[in-house]
A and B are shown apart, each in its own frame.
Chain A
Amino acid sequence: GQNIDQPTEMTATEGAIVQINCTYQTSGFNGLFWYQQHAGEAPTFLSYNVLDGLEEKGRFSSFLSRSKGYSYLLLKELQMKDSASYLCAPKAAGNKLTFGGGTRVLVKP
């Protein structure tokens, strides 16, 4: 079965750092994706973790702990354009993704 938990909403100030946590229970787990989705638009790929540890990509980093069923997305030097929903999506066999409900991040000036 699949069970994904991430906060519904977070608010942060421009220039700050925000960490979005995601816990999951996924049968046949073999990787985890993070997507960004602006209101009214399609999800866009941010990061992929398959091994434990931190993957850094510019202002965005993603961490995975397979043994704990835990991941986080770290957004640094927040900009107004980072206001969006962030979707945690563990992957199972057959390349199937299960999406969490998403975390809506609101960046304030």
Chain B
Amino acid sequence: DAGITQSPRHKVTETGTPVTLRCHQTENHRYMYWYRQDPGHGLRLIHYSYGVKDTDKGEVSDGYSVSRSKTEDFLLTLESATSSQTSVYFCAISEGETGGITDTQYFGPGTRLTVL
């Protein structure tokens, strides 16, 4: 299994507070992704990174920002948490974009976030 950890694994916070989730990998993979998973919506891409300091928006990026200052770490920040951001957040990594099997995304264990 790919070496991916997420922290914290569970968090409860209040509306209006900033929250930062961390994804750490030991695989030296170039691509990193943040998804959220909600009942009835499946996995949806929030932001992704294709290298250090190179990031781009996914389909549900409003209210989220990301940073990647090192290959191994990808941070997701909820600038001012809202109840609609209560979700399970998954980080994923992939080696590259070749059109082959190295494009496979491997997922971290997830962070369960509750915004009250």
Give residues in A with beta carbon < 8 Å to B. 30-31, 33, 41-45, 48, 50, 87, 89, 91, 94-102
Cα-based distance from A97 to B48 in the complex (angstroms) = 11
Contacts of B48 in A (CB 8 A): 94-96
| Mask: chain B, 85-109; 1 = CB below 8 Å from A; 0 = not | 0000010001011011101111111
Q: Is the CB of B31 within 8 A of A95?
A: yes
Q: Is the CB of A101 within 8 A of B42?
A: yes
Q: Is the CB of B44 within 8 A of A97?
A: no
Interface residue? B116 (CB, 8 A): no
Q: Is the CB of B109 within 8 A of A42?
A: yes
Q: Is the CB of B107 within 8 A of A44?
A: yes
Q: Is the CB of B42 within 8 A of A102?
A: yes
Contacts of B41 in A (CB 8 A): 101
Q: How far does the Cβ of B35 sit from chain A's closest Cβ, in whole Å?
A: 8
Contacts of A91 in B (CB 8 A): 103
Q: Is the CB of B43 within 8 A of A31?
A: no
Interface residue? B75 (CB, 8 A): no
Partner of A94, one of B35, B97, B108: B97
List 20 interface pairs A-B (beta carbons < 8 Å), by A numbering. A33-B104, A33-B105, A42-B90, A42-B110, A43-B90, A43-B107, A45-B105, A48-B103, A48-B104, A94-B50, A94-B56, A95-B94, A95-B103, A95-B105, A96-B45, A97-B43, A97-B45, A98-B45, A101-B40, A102-B42
Interface residue? B16 (CB, 8 A): no
Contacts of A102 in B (CB 8 A): 42
Q: Is the CB of B99 within 8 A of A99?
A: no
